[in-house]
Amino acid sequence: MAQLIANERVDDIPLLLSQMGQLKLSELADEHFERHGNWQGLSLGKVLVGWLSYLLSQGDHRLNQVEDWASGLSGTLERSLAPTVRSLDFSDDRLERILDRLGNDAQWDRFEGELNRHTVRVYDLRVGCVRLDTTTSSGYRAVTDEGLFQFGHSKDYRPDLAQVKISQAALDPLGLPVSTTVVSGNQADDPLYIPEIQKVQKCLQASGLTYVGDSKMAAIETRRYIAESQNHYLCPLPEQHISKADLAELLVPVFRHEEILTQVVSPDDNGETPEFIAEGFTLTLPQSVEVGAALFTWPEQWLVVRSFKSAERQRSSLDNRIEKATEALNQLNLTGRGRKRLSIEETRDAANRILQRYRVRDLIQVAYETTTQTTHKRAYRNKPARTLTETKVTVKSTLEAEAYQQATRLLGWRVYASNDLELSLPQAVYGYRNEYLIEQGFRRYKGKALGLRPLYLASDQRVKGLIRLLSLGLRILCLLEFSVRTHLAADQQVLSGLYAGNPKRATNHPTAELLLKAFRGITLTVMEIDGRLQRFLSSLSDLQRRILQFLDCPDSIYLALSG
């Protein structure tokens, strides 16, 4: 007679543990992080990868949920993780100890460096381009003088909440994080770039890399450091370095048709007809910075680029601002009940505020006309006869045609700086357009994939440890995508069946989230039959088997659960 013992939702857990096994994540963690003297049971590394598989599968970083999850997956974890696993190994106090270890800067740096070198070897990654950027994560935390959570410029559009700042370096074209630094939320971005680059250099032990960042990476000291360390940089110059007047002067030969522009076409990745996306030219000039008593000089290439789509968006935005400013100026002329009649000084102040608000001070000319009307009032009851004089101010706005033409000529133009003199204009455009790769990682931190927000931890060190743990999760997601996409590209194949409601839709760029979702519903049933425990696993679909094949994972990571 058969008796049901348990049903376990296996889902993507064996796959995730297998991927972490390829990285030797457990072994490296045991090697570099010290365990508490009273630590018993499963090793720190095994607990870490088990917890990480829960986090990636559930998108929930709450510590008090993991023990119950492990209890409900005992059969799966015993065969996929360790035969001696207990749900108690994932108690919240044990997970807190892991976060304390991950929050240790010295131990983390050694572990991260070794993990990077191992990842590059195992996946045979080409180390050529590294992207740098920062983001913030806010929480409902009290602010203390020395705490991580501080008020600062919020990239989450929540300036009312205290935040931490995350600085990250990611390897192209995976978006794979190779360095993650957590600092207080009130720190400026500019000083974070050189320390992050130094960490990358130490762990990857490579020179000749190209570091790509936004305009905050364009500080002259950062560019000097990268050039002096025999590496390359690519970043746009902010307006503090290149003002609109400077840009207009650079473009004079273009407006005179004396400069031959290089056309940039979209890369023909999907068999679509290429289209022109940008144009521009380059020039080379020397840069120099005093380093102590010496002067360090290097050649720098400026790539002056006009993006057609950017110019179109900016033109639309400019016209919209002019329209709104003109309408607001016309409102000053309205009179009637409930409207205060403004004096000439009050009208000028109101008009100036409008021009400043919509940033069109140089584009709209404002004239003021005053008319005076005298009215004689007869005596009425106890009021004597009197003469009233009222002055009306009329605002007339005119678009400055020449200024508008000059402003529109500058739209879409941007100057990029690089010390790689062999970098072509199209390469620079394509290189910077892929900045979304690192930003995609930040979205995963804050979205369902990794579930960083909201933060439930009270200890700063554990917050730092949690963010570092999530950066390991981000590595797994990036490597999943990389492996499957590489196999699809090599065999010129596509993968279908990933999209709910549209099983025939195919893609050659599946996301890690869709790949993991494809394994939902795999169930392990444990039954007692004639006094013996029997395990039955739901069959793997063709899609699941294909994904495992692309990931170089044998079917046995699932089939071994049954029997």
Task: List the structure tokens of 92.
Answer: 């919240």
- In 3D space, the residue among 28, 459, 400 whose CA is nearest the CA of residue 203 turns out to be 28
With a CB cutoff of 8 Å and minimum separation 6, the contacts of 124 are none
Q: Report the pLDDT value the prediction gives residue 268, as an integer from 0 to 100.
A: 62
Domain membership of residue 80 (yes or no) is no
At 401, is the secondary structure helix, strand, or coil?
helix
| pLDDT tens digits for range 71-90 | 999 989 999 999 999 999 99
Dihedral (CA of 217, 223, 224, 229) sign: positive
Q: Report the pLDDT value the prediction gives residue 89, as an integer from 0 to 100.
A: 93
Q: Report the pLDDT value the prediction gives residue 372, as an integer from 0 to 100.
A: 77
DSSP annotation of 533: E
Domain membership of residue 345 (yes or no) is yes
- In 3D space, the residue among 26, 54, 24 whose CA is nearest the CA of residue 516 turns out to be 54
- In 3D space, the residue among 516, 562, 561, 563 whose CA is nearest the CA of residue 543 turns out to be 516
**Residue 61 near residue 456, CB atoms below 8 Å:** yes
**Residue 27 near residue 82, CB atoms below 8 Å:** no
**Residue 437 near residue 176, CB atoms below 8 Å:** no
**Strand 532-537 versus strand 176-184 pairing type:** unpaired
Looking at the predicted structure, is the pLDDT value of residue 388 above 70? no
Looking at the predicted structure, is the pLDDT value of residue 130 above 60? yes
pLDDT interval class at 266 (50, 70, 90): confident
Q: Report the pLDDT value the prediction gives residue 98, as an integer from 0 to 100.
A: 94
Q: Report the pLDDT value the prediction gives residue 404, as an integer from 0 to 100.
A: 94
| pLDDT tens digits for range 472-497 | 999 999 999 999 999 999 989 999 99
Task: List the structure tokens of 555.
Answer: 């079917």
Burial annotation 277-288 (CB, 10 A radius, 16+ → b, else e): bbbbbbeeeeee
Dist CA 122 CA 482 (whole Å)? 13
Query: What proportion of the chain, given as a percentage, has pLDDT over 70?
Result: 97
Q: What does the CA dihedral 495, 501, 502, 504 come to, rounded to 10 degrees?
A: 60
Looking at the predicted structure, is the pLDDT value of residue 271 above 60? no
Exposed/middle/buried for 541, CB within 10 Å: 0-12, 13-18, 19+?
Answer: middle
Dist CA 166 CA 404 (whole Å)? 41
Q: How far is CA 206 from CA 172, 201, 438, in A?
A: 15, 6, 20
Q: How far is CA 66 from CA 73, 181, 268, 513, in A?
A: 11, 26, 46, 21
- Give me the number of domains the chain comprises: 1
At 337, is the secondary structure helix, strand, or coil?
coil
Q: How far is CA 272 from CA 266, 268, 269, 488, 502, in A?
A: 9, 6, 7, 19, 23
**Residue 474 near residue 439, CB atoms below 8 Å:** no
- In 3D space, the residue among 8, 45, 50, 2 whose CA is nearest the CA of residue 26 turns out to be 45
Output the DSSP codes for 44-90: HHHHHHHHHHHHHHH----GGGHHHHHHTTHHHHHHHT-TT--GGGG
| Amino acid letter for position 95 | L
pLDDT interval class at 4 (50, 70, 90): low
Provide the edge-to-edge strand list for the sheet that holds 2-9.
2-9, 523-529, 532-537
Looking at the predicted structure, is the pLDDT value of residue 396 above 70? yes
| Amino acid letter for position 69 | W
Domain membership of residue 149 (yes or no) is no
Vertex 521 angle, CA 516 and 525, to 5°:
130
| Amino acid letter for position 417 | A
Looking at the predicted structure, is the pLDDT value of residue 124 above 60? yes
Domain membership of residue 350 (yes or no) is yes
Mean pLDDT comparison of 228-232, 266-270, 502-506, 533-537, highest-scoring range: 228-232
Q: How far is CA 475 from CA 112, 115, 395, 407, in A?
A: 11, 10, 60, 44
Average pLDDT for the chain: 90
pLDDT interval class at 563 (50, 70, 90): low
Dist CA 518 CA 500 (whole Å)? 10
Q: Report the pLDDT value the prediction gives residue 531, as an integer from 0 to 100.
A: 74
Task: Mark residue 350 as left, alpha or beta (left: phi above 0; alpha: psi -120 to 50; beta: remaining).
Answer: alpha
Domain membership of residue 465 (yes or no) is no
Domain limits at 376?
Answer: 313-408
Looking at the predicted structure, is the pLDDT value of residue 559 above 70? yes
Q: What does the CA dihedral 23, 28, 29, 31 come to, rounded to 10 degrees?
A: 170
Cis preceding-peptide flag for 454 (omega within 30 of 0): yes
Q: Report the pLDDT value the prediction gives residue 463, as an integer from 0 to 100.
A: 93
Q: Report the pLDDT value the prediction gives residue 111, as an integer from 0 to 100.
A: 95
Helix axes 460-491, 44-58, angle to 10 degrees: 70
At 179, is the secondary structure helix, strand, or coil?
strand
pLDDT interval class at 447 (50, 70, 90): confident
**Residue 101 near residue 34, CB atoms below 8 Å:** yes
Q: How far is CA 316 from CA 18, 224, 361, 407, in A?
A: 51, 37, 18, 13
Number of Cβ within 10 Å of residue 180's Cβ equals: 23
Helix axes 92-102, 460-491, angle to 10 degrees: 80
- The phi, psi pair for 425, rounded to 5°, reads -60, -50
Q: Report the pLDDT value the prediction gives residue 2, as an integer from 0 to 100.
A: 63
**Section 111-136 average pLDDT:** 92
Dist CA 395 CA 40 (whole Å)? 81
